[in-house]
Structure 1
Amino acid sequence: MTVRIAMVAGETSGDLLASHLIRAIRQQVPDAEFFGIGGPKMQAEGFDARWPSELLAVHGYVDALKRYRELSGIRRALLGQIRGERPAAFIGVDAPDFNLWLEGKVKDSGIPSIHFVSPSIWAWRGGRIKRIARSVSRMLCLFPFEPEIYEQAGVPVSYVGHPLADVFPLHPDRNAARQLLELPLEHRIVAMLPGSRQSEVRNLADTYIATAKQMVERDPGLCFLVPLATRETRAIFEEALHRNQALDLPIRMLFGHAVEAMIASDVVLVASGTASLEAALLKRPMVITYRIGAWQYRLMKRMAYLPWVGLPNILCNEGLVPELLQDDATPEKLAAALDAWLNDPDRRAALEARFAELHLTLRQNTAEKAAEVVLPYLRQGAA
């Protein structure tokens, strides 16, 4: 009997994570079939995408409200297909706002529901834990401190590690990255990552440019790399360079190549998010920053109950790297914090050692470990 599995993955990161899981499950169940909502990487593994994962890419509360009826219709249509086709299990990959409702309905229909990538309930949405407990048969967590939260709430949970830790090298080759990007081996280089979304780049571009100006005044030999994910974000940063009359700054914009830019750099200025974890896994000293609308920041600050927002600090349970957010994200403070890293090799070496320990903790062969957890549910659902 062929084992069939329904899946929903949102956005590019979920598509990649799900494609690895599909491949790992197929190593144990070669004739397994997968269907639902997915992207091109999942489809390359033979996934039957009834809808493309890009449909779930929602940016902010306003966009979510505008598209509520459309997304709700897709979700109900997929639920009908799952109830009709009775797969052995359902796996929701990330996209919690879409998946948790669906997982609850699927679970109520007698089909095991597994959620891959814990929502950030440890950051500011702890009230979600009761909903999660009702919705999922098992939660798969990427971070080692997360399972305890679910165990206390009676939610079956497994720690499977973080996929980036499997992919990134334990010892990145800085010289090779500089040669790839055609950069001088002897220069001091600052990577500046303002984020992947247009709103993030708009909020940070002027500040990043002003920070570079201040740093160059003190050290004219510095070089700056700014990797940007899309043509739109590149255009926003270019406009900021013109607006700030900064075309003569030693700033080189890259189309993509964020990982290579961080490996090549001596220090990283990074917007809070997954990129800060990438910087930690690449053993780079960093300064974390972020700017959003004033009312949104007040709301998030009121909901937060951790002393840090950056994943490196949260995972190490220590303020290892500076976080300069909102009104504290001034060019003067950012430049001073970056200069402090550049001028203290002993502090950089100590940080790299801590990040190497973190890397080993997160390196768990995530896809294979997740597949091992999923397999008993497939046998149960197919029985």
Structure 2
Amino acid sequence: WPTTGILILLLLILSFGESVLKNTISSGFNQPRTQDPRVVQAINSLRWDMWYKDAWAMLFYLSATLTLLWTFFSDKVSLKTFSISITLLLLIDIMVVDNKIIQPKKNSGRSSQLLNRSIIDRYFQHDQISKILSSDKEEPFRIYPAGQLFGETRLRAFGIESVGGYHPAKLGVYNNFLKQTNNASTLPLMSMLNVKYLLSTQPINFPGLIEVKQAKMKSGRGAIPISLYRLLNYQKRAWFAKNIEVYPDNNFPWEIIKNQLFDPKKTAFVSDNDISKSMTFSEGEIISYKNSLHTTEIETKSDSIGFLVVSEVFYPLRWNATIDGEYIEYFKTNGVIRGLVIPKGQHKIIFSYDRSSFNLGIIISLFSFFITIGMISFGYHKSRL
């Protein structure tokens, strides 16, 4: 009965609360990357239409599935009828997914997910720009795609890290940083984010940039002319900051951070929730830096206590830090990256990704699967008695 009550409540909300629901859901949509209000309105309207139809579809599938389970366990339908009905329900769902995602209609606003082999092969073919970037294997670095290139996803095929990211969904702390700093558009911020190369569709004459190559680069919009530059003051992925300045709560001094005179190697900003007062630390040495998908290992050496800054997004919910095997707290630094206090001497710092929620999801999925198989088997043997 509680489940039936929830379904009825959902039905009432979808039927009579559409306007309120639309305002609530639409407020959570990410801002489209366009300034044209008509395009923004059209995109958000399409998003709402998709969400609303999918909500009705979800309600239908839940109601149908629960009804079939109730009729089966109440001995109102046979196992054969139940199996056929569930199979038909699954087939309908597959057909809907095929129509919406795999092979959508031309007027749906979606692109087909089916790609032939030749398109895939072309996607992984190098051009002059990707060859230069891929050949630089000396140490980890990121690129900065300027202007309209900021969300370009082409270079992900070669494992090249981009400040713009390769997916519109980003962590809130990083989205806020991009918003506050106009997409990290100053050279000091690019340096802080471990940017070694800048890509632009227009030539740039600016101190601190060295032109590497002008060539056409393959992109999602075809081949486009690119000017590739290397940052003169390229910053490595981790370093020791000398001066730590403390600000109340999380009110980071964005005007200072995005100033062209800001030097992230000399100064780091943290909250007074983490460090009580501003102070000066000694500059240590990064002995080694190793990075993989789920682990970052850093070996350091310092003559006295130091403050290590790591150019990775601050995300303590999933990334844990240890120093010589002991868990240690790290702090949001410069509004987006990680910082931690390192004792005197030689140490090994490891950041590791916590996969516990993912592993729990697998366990729940397997448990649900076996419970379902057990219930069907129990029902089948019960009907044979």
So what's the TM-score if we normalise by structure 1? 0.28
Rg bigger for which structure? 2
Higher relative contact order (CA 8 A, sep 6+): 1
Q: By percentage of residues, which structure has more helix? A: 1
State the TM-score, normalized to the length of structure 2: 0.27
